[in-house]
Amino acid sequence: MLPKLFRIKAPEFFHSKKYSRKKTTMHLTVISKESHRNTPRFVILIPKSVDKRASFRNKIRRFLEEEIRTEYLQAQNHKDICIRVHKFSKDTSFTQMKSELKNLMENTFTSIQKA
């Protein structure tokens, strides 16, 4: 689980009327918004349509949280970021999802610095 400092709840994220940027791949969507905090905050959404088994959805969530913890918590930006999983088939590997997340987050952080 991510430390509480780096978490945001979905209703709080979507309640904010701030402008958001959305980037999508085959399996993931990343939505980013400005934040008044000094640290990035993340929410991970995995709907039941991905898989009916909670244990599998939790496995995906733990994988994404570990990637965020090891790669993106030290980012010096002030963003709230929502990561939503679309599809996860048996052909999809965690390495493929990791590369998609890396591309999306790099694009998100570079677009943050340009804006």
Say yes or no to pLDDT of 115 above 60. no
Contact 60, 85 (CB under 8 A): yes
Say yes or no to pLDDT of 12 above 80. yes
The tokens describing 22, both together, are: 């959305």
Say yes or no to pLDDT of 25 above 70. yes
Looking at residue 111, its pLDDT comes to: 57
Segment of 36-40, 45-49, 109-113 carrying the highest mean pLDDT: 45-49
Residue range 76-101, pLDDT digits in tens: 778 899 999 987 777 788 999 999 99
Instruction: Quickly state the pLDDT bin for 20 (edges 50, 70, 90).
Output: confident
Cα 87–chain centre separation: 14
Q: How far apart are CA 2 and CA 65, in angstroms?
A: 6
Top pLDDT among 92 and 24 is at 24
Q: How far apart are CA 77 and CA 56, in angstroms?
A: 31
- Sorted by where each starts, the structural domains of the chain and their CATH numbers stand as 4-114 (3.30.230.10)
Q: How far apart are CA 110 and CA 102, in angstroms?
A: 12
Looking at residue 93, its pLDDT comes to: 87
